[in-house]
Amino acid sequence: MKSIGILGSTGSIGTQALQIVDENINKYDISYLTCLNNYKLLSQQALHYRPKKVCIVDSSKEKQLSKLLKNENIEVYSGVSGLHELSSFRTDLLLNAIVGSDGMIPTINALKNNIQVALANKESMVMAGWIINDILKENNRRIIPVDSEHSAIFQCLTGEKVSNVRKIILTGSGGPFRTKNYNEFKNIEKKEALNHPNWQMGKKISIDSATMMNKGLEFIEAYWLFNLPKEKIDIIVHPQSIIHSIVEFTDGSMKCQMGYPDMEVPIRYAFSYPGRSNSSSRSFNFLENDKLTFESPDYEKFPCIKLAQEALKSGYSHQVVLNVANDIAVLKFLNDKISFTDIPKVIDKAISSHVSIDNPSIDEILELSEWTKEFITNEVINV
């Protein structure tokens, strides 16, 4: 039995992960589950999967959750401190499916305790890739990526030497506004931005896909996960989302990982790694999908990609501010406080206004996060 702890179990990745556990009840066992505030679903999951511990990060919901789990012999934790405590709790595998910056400390905690991490929270790598890689090196471990592109690259690199990589090519669908005229961008409404053509995902990442900041964050994520120079990382738009990424080797040979767009595949791989498990998913039909197309990303229409690439070039603190500013800007857009085209503007302003720090420590990253949250909130009032 492999014990699995899931952070963010009520979200899009978390619920899909639990379906995989359901199909493999003799292989996987849930050690703990956490969520932000959906206490009803968390209690149902707890009663079904019988973890030892659960945590609700929104403490105001703790009473309701405890009531639903009374006499069940499941320990209830709450708040950010509860989440941090659980992320250090012994388990064979921790799946971090938290949305946004809040996922960073749990990733670091788990790695410091030498726990194997499957990472769906790309923001951890963007905000603290240098710290995370130091811990991984010390423990001689690797993160198993759950982001579909990075899972693809990870799978292509299995059995290969990174020194034999000529380049990696991250694919992206281009999002819902790939063909939309830029003149119409300022009127983009939230429901259009949430409506991704290929992937069913949570709200934050759907907006990130619409602005293409998602690809920018993934560029930084790839840099830290695979320890490759930025010049060896390319981005290409592939609207059908069938090829999930490509690795080109020094001898000119290329490998790609492909299949229908379905997050179950990378989650399943992370759970079964280094082996593979069985899935009842349909086989890919080449004859029904005979048009796979590719194009350059439009950096003018989607300035977020360049913002991320510039942040990676400029320094570690720039990546922290980029990530937190994006988290907050997306939230403000979802709350109708700013327009779609304001998102890159406020992020850019936050990055150029911050005081750069060379090699920020965890405490400095957290301070910088607070500064960024405040900056964006003040900035939004003036938009």
Q: Which is nearer to Mn ion, 219 or 273 (CB)?
A: 219
Tell me the site size for Mn ion, rule CB under 5 A.
Answer: 3
We find the least distance from the C-beta atom of residue 205 to Mn ion, in angstroms, to be 8
Q: Does 327 bind Mn ion (CB under 5 A)?
A: no
Residue with tokens 């999967």: 49
Question: What is the pattern of x (binds Mn ion, CB under 5 A) and - over residues 149-168?
Answer: x-------------------
Segment contacting Mn ion (CB under 5 A): 144-152, 277-285, 288-296, 305-313?
A: 144-152
Segment contacting Mn ion (CB under 5 A): 37-45, 99-107, 148-156, 187-195?
A: 148-156
Given a contact cutoff of 8 angstroms between Cβ atoms, the answer to whether 320 and 127 are in contact is yes
We find the least distance from the C-beta atom of residue 141 to Mn ion, in angstroms, to be 22
CA distance 310 to 208: 17
Q: Which is nearer to Mn ion, 101 or 214 (CB)?
A: 214
Segment contacting Mn ion (CB under 5 A): 4-12, 146-154, 180-188, 224-232?
A: 146-154
We find the least distance from the C-beta atom of residue 149 to Mn ion, in angstroms, to be 5
Question: What is the pattern of x (binds Mn ion, CB under 5 A) and - over residues 40-59?
Answer: --------------------
Q: Which is nearer to Mn ion, 147 or 327 (CB)?
A: 147
Contacts of residue 350, defined as CB under 8 A and 6 or more positions apart, other chains included, come to 321, 322, 324, 325, 372, 375, 376, 379
CA distance 47 to 96: 21
Q: Which is nearer to Mn ion, 34 or 148 (CB)?
A: 148
We find the least distance from the C-beta atom of residue 224 to Mn ion, in angstroms, to be 15
Segment contacting Mn ion (CB under 5 A): 111-119, 145-153, 281-289, 339-347?
A: 145-153
Segment contacting Mn ion (CB under 5 A): 31-39, 139-147, 184-192, 356-364?
A: 139-147
Q: Which is nearer to Mn ion, 53 or 196 (CB)?
A: 196
We find the least distance from the C-beta atom of residue 308 to Mn ion, in angstroms, to be 13
C-alpha closest to that of 54 among 28, 124, 68, 272: 68
Position among 147, 248, 342, 379 found at the interface with Mn ion (CB under 5 A): 147
Provide the binding-site residues for Mn ion, judged by CB under 5 A.
Answer: 147-149
